[in-house]
Amino acid sequence: MLPNFKTLPSMVQEHTLTVSLEEFGLSKYEACAYVALISKGNISASELAYYADIPRTKVYPILLKLEKKKLVIISKSKPIMCTAISPEDAFDNIIHEQIEKVNAMNTLITNLKHVSEDSKKQQGSEEKRYFHLNANNVLNQLKKMIESSKSTIQIMTDPWGLNLLAECKEQLLSVLRRDLDVKIIVPFNQAGSESFKIIPDGAKIRMCDNVQNCFIFDQTELLIINSYNGKGAIFSSTEVLGDNQSNFFSHVWKNSQKTNSLADMNKTEAQEICRIINVINQNGLGYILGSSFVSKNTDTELLRLLEKNGISFKSKNLEDVIEVIDTVLQITCAGHASFDSNNKNITIESKLNNGSSLPWVAVVDEFLHKQGYKTRKVLHNHSQKGEKVHIKLIQK
């Protein structure tokens, strides 16, 4: 039986809370700072450094990160005072995300049961069974199933599942040496994470908003893991279910974002790229149309949209922006962005001929206008080669 949390010594309580917060995506120092603020109340930044055991040189950047995550309030007075936002307000969104994950898992299990029940109703069908795994046995079973795979491994993970998969590095290396086709879909918020970087070269990785852990081996064996409690279920030799889930995986894979260009980035850089893509893909078109209706200004105000979502280009120079857009284009449409400084010409191209590069042209164009340039844009479309846009820089 686990001990009552309230009966634990205060230091043990704080350590337990800190570790739990790290599992929700906070860094170690961010978690230590938030726990210290919850326990001490309104204190100065220097006091926080002392109570949270954070180096003084790091306490202010940590506070700013916590403020951006809406976990603390920082005063404008001197000395700077800081207060933790109440846990029920600070973690409301995270709680809802966890609830959505549980609901998605329950829906998946229900659908799997329907497939199983339907197969039993067919005359001459063979009854298939699944096996429950407790949380302590899931990792070992996952390693065994990876090692015994013969042709393909298809994986969809949430952060919990990706952490488990990272512990299977040796098994993944073994099957990759046998030239197995290993495809992994991870959530956007795991790009650049330690677990993400542990996955060996040779495994193909893409990103999408994913809330389940489903491991498909040779299109016949499935391992489903519930990240809420760590338990799993194995479905063996289920051709109908395997084909169904494999087809679903292929559909998700086709519409997921590539990650090759993020391989050498740290987590902060990779996360910024993913956030930029999500913001523009989800809201960019509507923002462009809205700007054109309410203003005669030719700028689309996409930079303002990004700033509203915590992404600023103000500290970036033109070369930095081109590098960001180049990475984005590689991920979203196998494209590229380049700058010819001699001819003052920027080229933005996409392998897809569907307008996928145009929002990014708008971002670069607006940035240039804010830097004091006039621009002239020329679009080249080719039904098979994709699209290419040249932006000519003209100094005002």
What CATH number has the domain bearing residue 67?
Answer: 1.10.10.10
Residues 206 and 251 reside in one and the same domain = yes
Is the per-residue pLDDT at 266 higher than 90? no
- Name residue 182's beta-bridge partners: 153
Residue 221's pLDDT is 87
Residue 295's pLDDT is 45
Which of left, alpha, beta for 178 (phi over 0: left; psi -120 to 50: alpha)? alpha
Residues 238 and 280 reside in one and the same domain = no
Residues 134 and 173 reside in one and the same domain = yes
Q: How confident is the model at residue 14 (pLDDT cuts 50, 70, 90)?
A: low
Residues 236 and 351 reside in one and the same domain = no
Residues 108 and 83 reside in one and the same domain = no
Q: How confident is the model at residue 184 (pLDDT cuts 50, 70, 90)?
A: very high
This prediction has a pTM of 0.56
Residue 278's pLDDT is 83
Residue 13's pLDDT is 62
Of the three residues 211, 236, 258, the one that is the final residue of a domain is: 258
- Mean residue pLDDT across the chain: 81
Residues 217 and 291 reside in one and the same domain = no
Is the per-residue pLDDT at 177 higher than 90? yes
Q: Which of 44-58, 130-144, 164-178 has the highest mean pLDDT?
A: 164-178
- What percent of the chain stands above pLDDT 70? 84
- At residue 100's C-alpha, the angle toward residues 98 and 104, to 5°, is 120
Name residue, tokens 């403020």. Answer: 67
Q: Which residues contact 258 (CB under 8 A, 6 or more apart)?
A: 206, 330, 331, 334
The domain that holds 318 is classified in CATH as 3.30.1380
Long-range contacts of 365-372 (CB under 8 A, 24+ apart): 365/299, 365/300, 365/391, 366/299, 366/300, 366/301, 366/302, 366/303, 367/303, 367/313, 367/318, 367/321, 368/318, 368/393, 369/299, 370/303, 371/318, 372/396
- Backbone φ, ψ for residue 77 (5° rounding): -80, 170
- Could you tell me the CA-to-CA distances from 179 to 157, 168, 204 in Å, in that order? 22, 17, 12
Of the three residues 211, 243, 258, the one that is the final residue of a domain is: 258
Residues 250 and 314 reside in one and the same domain = no
| Domain encompassing residue 56 | 5-89
Among 4-8, 71-75, 201-205, 266-270, whose mean pLDDT is lowest? 4-8
Sign of CA dihedral 278, 283, 289, 295: negative
The domain that holds 209 is classified in CATH as 3.30.870.10
Residues 140 and 232 reside in one and the same domain = yes
- Using an 8 Å Cβ cutoff, are 383 and 355 in contact? no
Classify 233 as helix, strand or coil: strand
Residues 307 and 388 reside in one and the same domain = yes
- Could you tell me the CA-to-CA distances from 157 to 215, 220, 224, 270 in Å, in that order? 8, 18, 10, 18
Quote the number of domains for the chain: 3
pLDDT digits (tens, 9 = 90+) for 134-166: 888 899 999 999 999 999 999 999 888 899 999
Name residue, tokens 């180049």. Answer: 326
For residue 364, which of 323, 309, 315 has the smallest C-alpha distance? 323
- Backbone φ, ψ for residue 336 (5° rounding): -150, 160
Name residue, tokens 């996952």. Answer: 142
Residues 103 and 252 reside in one and the same domain = yes
Is the per-residue pLDDT at 95 higher than 80? no
Of the three residues 212, 237, 258, the one that is the final residue of a domain is: 258
Residues 369 and 301 reside in one and the same domain = yes
Residues 122 and 239 reside in one and the same domain = yes
